[in-house]
Amino acid sequence: MMEPDPGPVEIPIDGILDLHAFAPKDAPSLVEEYIGVCQEKEIYDLRIIHGKGKGVLRRVVHARLERDSRVLEFGLDPGSSGWGATLVRLKRNRKDQRR
């Protein structure tokens, strides 16, 4: 017996996106939407947790970030998580740059 679809999953918007609970095919759209919401909330430093594994999800995330004009820079987290997370710096909105 199939369980009913629980509907949309609410993700806290705190600058940390953990992709472990999501299917890899959903990662590009999740990253894209999360970036937009973070910019709206004036959160410009993000941490995307993709795990280490075989690196498939990391490559998917990095490919999406490379194509996003809102991304200033990104790279693997040099901290203890190593290559299991990517740090992202977003461009500031024009209204925020005047501050």
Q: What domain range includes position 31? A: 27-43+62-73
For residue 39, tell me if it sits in a domain: yes
For residue 20, tell me if it sits in a domain: no
For residue 68, tell me if it sits in a domain: yes
Q: What are 42-63's pLDDT values in tens digits?
A: 999 999 999 998 889 999 999 9
Task: Tell if the pTM clears 0.85, that is, is over it.
Answer: no
For residue 21, tell me if it sits in a domain: no
What are the C-alpha distances in Å from 85 to residues 1, 8, 65, 91?
36, 24, 13, 20
Q: Give how many domains the chain has, as a whole number.
A: 1
CB 89 within 8 A of CB 73: yes
Q: What are 65-92's pLDDT values in tens digits?
A: 999 999 999 999 988 767 799 999 999 9
Least confident among 11-15, 16-20, 44-48, 83-87: 11-15
